[in-house]
Amino acid sequence: MASQIAAAAGESVPTADQRLVTYGVPWSHFEAQLTLRGERPVPRIAFLDGALELMSPSKDHERIKSYIGRLIEAYALEHDIDLSPYGSWTLRKAPEQAGLEPDECYLIGDQARDTPDLAIEVVWTSGGIDKLEIYRRLGVREVWRWQDSRIDVHVLREQHYELSERSTLFPDLDVQLLGSFLDHPTALQAVKAFRAALHA
């Protein structure tokens, strides 16, 4: 039977991430999975209290996270913010039983710290383990979560994340304005349009 999801000519159908979660796994297995995967970019691996997640992001997932990263970097350039990207840097703390690899992450200012200031998470497929709890245990100052065409800003305050309309790292940035450029056909077009809006 033909698929009931039909795309008009030239229209793309969003694809889902591939995700596998196993429970009751010791920390040593998380470390072993990282070693076995080596320098390959997938699967992305996360761990929380004995739950091990392996995730292969879809094409759409990768596009959204890359666009967000390009736009953040464009904003930093426009405002002379000393920001460095670290991609899917493997973050882990054995005593906290928590570890993951962000979609994108950044250090702002001091580059010597062992935890990023900002992490980007694209939530394309529901389910999986609680990434915000992992970030909380790791002490990441802000997490931006894209889901259903919206970016939610989670700011770490007193060891808990709070939803915020504004980023504390980029207080003058309208995050929803940034998010409105994610539907452009190419990253170049998105960055050009975003920079034009910043100068408007």
| pLDDT one-digit tens code per residue, 20-73 | 999 999 999 999 999 999 888 889 999 999 999 999 999 999 999 999 999 999
Residues 180 and 167 sit within 8 Å (Cβ to Cβ): no
Residue pointed to by tokens 């250090």: 107
Radius of gyration of the chain (CA): 18
| Mean pLDDT, range 125-139, rounded to an integer | 91
- pLDDT band for position 7 (cuts 50, 70, 90): very low
Give dist(CA 169, CA 15) in Å, integer.
32
| Mean pLDDT, range 140-155, rounded to an integer | 97
Whether the CA torsion 121, 107, 115, 87 is positive or negative: it is positive
Tell me which residue of 110, 103, 117 sits closest to 46, measured CA to CA.
103
For 58-199, CATH number out of 3.90.1570, 3.40.50, 1.10.10, 1.10.1740 equals 3.90.1570
- Report the DSSP beta bridge partners of residue 21: 53
Residue 76's pLDDT is 98
End-to-end CA distance of the chain: 51
- Model pTM? 0.89
pLDDT digits (tens, 9 = 90+) for 65-97: 999 999 999 999 999 999 999 999 999 999 999
Q: Percentage of the chain with pLDDT > 70?
A: 92
- pLDDT band for position 4 (cuts 50, 70, 90): very low
Give dist(CA 96, CA 118) in Å, integer.
19
- pLDDT band for position 110 (cuts 50, 70, 90): confident
